[in-house]
Structure 1
Amino acid sequence: MSCPDCFAGSIHEGQPKGQITKLHGLDVYVSSPPQEPSRPSNGIVIIVPDAFGWEFVNNRLLADHYAEKGNFTVYLPEFMNGHPAPLIGLTVIPKLFQGGVWGWLTKPYWLIRTLQVMLPFLIRNRLGKSWPIVEGLFKAVRENEGSNVPIGAAGFCWGGKHTVLLAHGGGSNTTTINNNNNNNNKPLIDAAFTGHPSMLKFPEDIDKITIPTSFALAGQDVTVDASKIEQIQRAIEKQPEEKKGESVIYPATGHGFCVRADHITKEKERAAAEAEDQAVAWFLKWFASAVY
């Protein structure tokens, strides 16, 4: 179950630079490498977003940053069938946790408003409905645009669960694609990055990871708390060196900081930027070692 922090945070300022297109039946925001076509893309990064979805400006700006910093082609698909969490949640949910007498008096009202934000999203985008859409898009990209280039998944909050499932491994289940190149043994992704994932099952979701996975974890996250962070770290220690993951803890941050950090607070802004760099460095490392 997601926590209220999955639906809270700040809206960032900026003008997205990408384009909107259709890709394998889904609307997709595409951010291209700034030096393309003179310099080929280093690979494809597909973002599985937080609860606010593909149209949320923060997610689009993040896609642009990945494209610029890593020279990646970045896809931000519409995985939610038009039912992301409403942006009003960014205003409503913090009020549920107001202190003082007035805060306690108004808490029942804000609890109802919070449930009106969270429950429709969670029902419409439950894993049984969303996972086939996410997996299907990754399969289609692997069989087409990504047949001969590395692919990475970057997932946040709601998208973190899907990214960890993708990191369990698995191929495209096809025998021939594009000029009869054999793709049957290629995993859907070559590397994964997830920031403050939610809805994970411990320890099984972590223990099943076979794809190199990088975790950006908030030090003050009630969804993945200290005991769960320890489980992630222990699981990584057991992984073989050739597929070993990593975890980075950002102490003064809460759930959602990679996407919705309050940029008025310099420490949180710095943590969000460092998490961006963590993801870019991770994909560059594993894309460079992918053989196609």
Structure 2
Amino acid sequence: MSCPDCFSGSVKDGKPRGEVVTLHGIQAYATGPSDGRTPKAIIVIIPDAFGWEFVNNRLLADHYADRGDYKVYLPEFMAGKAAPEYMLDSMRGLINGSVFVKPFHLAKAMTGFVPFILTNRIGKSYPRVKAWFEELRKAEGADAKIAAAGFCWGGKHVLLMSHNITVDVAGKPAPLINVGFTGHPSFMEVPADVAETMTVPVSFAIGELDAGLPADKVAEIRKIVEAKPAPVTGEVVVYEGAGHGFCVRADSTLNDVTSQAVKAEEQCIAWFNKHLGL
């Protein structure tokens, strides 16, 4: 499910260092290790609602590249209809503004939300995302190591791709992705999204205060994924005091939440390193 927190948070300071490339028919932000190390594997970020141009998502891609020997891609999966950045201010106005200004903020927020959801509801967006990953797998080869990290909207896509999907690469079946990570996923269906057909190990980072994932649902997810046999066994990490969006849009004025966002980065890279043998 989705909630107002999907469109709230803060913008981070910093200048992304990567480049924009065209990859398998769409644009993507591409980055690698800043010290020039040769990447040993690929991470593809499927972003939150604010999309591939949002500075927080590009900075996260840079962080991932620096925390391991990874080539990181952040593709434009939203067909030009990502949630606009002004929605961050609109949501603050809806939550904290006076009764007189809330109608204005609601109207403005809807001008961003409606195009986003009409273009990017999961039934329409998932085929685009899946098709791009299929082309990536074919281009990189059956033995390439490919990880997917999804946040909020993107988290649902990672979960769907973890369900026993293979690609024919020169007559050899290969997994669409080798390993997955999802931070505060939205639109989740439990238990369906973590059912027996999940054949890729997935790590979850969930905020304790995420209204979209109440404690009983988190417990159910944990019970299912941690009971799966190796190497498909998953993990669930709950971050105390953190809400939805903390992995990407943590308020930098709140030290605890910022620290938890860093820990979630470390969780993701440790998980990928473990399952990709790096």
Name the aligned partner's letter for residue 185 of structure 2: P
Instruction: Say if 2:186 is the partner of 1:191.
Output: no
Question: How many Å separate the matches in 1 of 2:33 and 2:43?
Answer: 11
Name the aligned partner's letter for residue 179 of structure 2: A
Question: How many Å separate the matches in 2 of 1:249 and 1:113?
Answer: 33
Q: Which consecutive aligned stretches of 4+ in structure 1 deviate over 4 angstroms post-superposition?
A: none
Name the aligned partner's letter for residue 27 of structure 2: D
Aligned partner of 2:256 in structure 1 is: 267
Aligned partner of 1:228 in structure 2 is: 217
- Structure 2 contact 251–258 (Cα < 8 Å) conserved: yes
Instruction: Say if 2:79 is the partner of 1:90.
Output: no
Please report the TM-score for the alignment, with normalisation by the length of structure 2. 0.95
Instruction: Say if 2:163 is the partner of 1:134.
Output: no
Q: Find the partner of 1:61 among 47, 59, 62.
A: 59
Question: How many Å separate the matches in 1 of 2:46 and 2:246?
Answer: 16
SS of the residue 1:283 aligns to: helix
SS of the residue 1:162 aligns to: helix
- What is the Cα-based RMSD across aligned positions, in Å? 1.5
- Structure 2 contact 64–72 (Cα < 8 Å) conserved: yes
Give the drift of 1:227: 1.5
Aligned partner of 1:179 in structure 2 is: none
Question: How many Å separate the matches in 2 of 1:138 and 1:283?
Answer: 17
Aligned partner of 2:28 in structure 1 is: 28
Question: How many Å separate the matches in 2 of 1:142 and 1:82?
Answer: 24
Residue correspondence of structure 1 range 143-292 to structure 2 within 5 A:
143-172=138-167, 174-176=168-170, 182-184=171-173, 186-207=174-195, 208-288=197-277
- Structure 1 contact 34–71 (Cα < 8 Å) conserved: no
Deviations 1:200-241 (A, max 9, x none): 111111224221000000000011111111111111232113
Q: Which moved more, 1:108-117 or 1:77-86?
A: 108-117
Name the aligned partner's letter for residue 165 of structure 1: L
Give the drift of 1:285: 0.4
Aligned partner of 1:9 in structure 2 is: 9
- Structure 2 contact 151–184 (Cα < 8 Å) conserved: yes
Provide structure 2 residue ranges, at least 5 long, that are not aligned to the other structure. none
SS of the residue 1:253 aligns to: coil
Provide structure 1 residue ranges, at least 5 long, that are not aligned to the other structure. 177-181
Name the aligned partner's letter for residue 161 of structure 1: K
Q: Which moved more, 1:44-53 or 1:104-113?
A: 104-113
Question: How many Å separate the matches in 2 of 1:161 and 1:236?
Answer: 15
- Structure 2 contact 142–169 (Cα < 8 Å) conserved: no
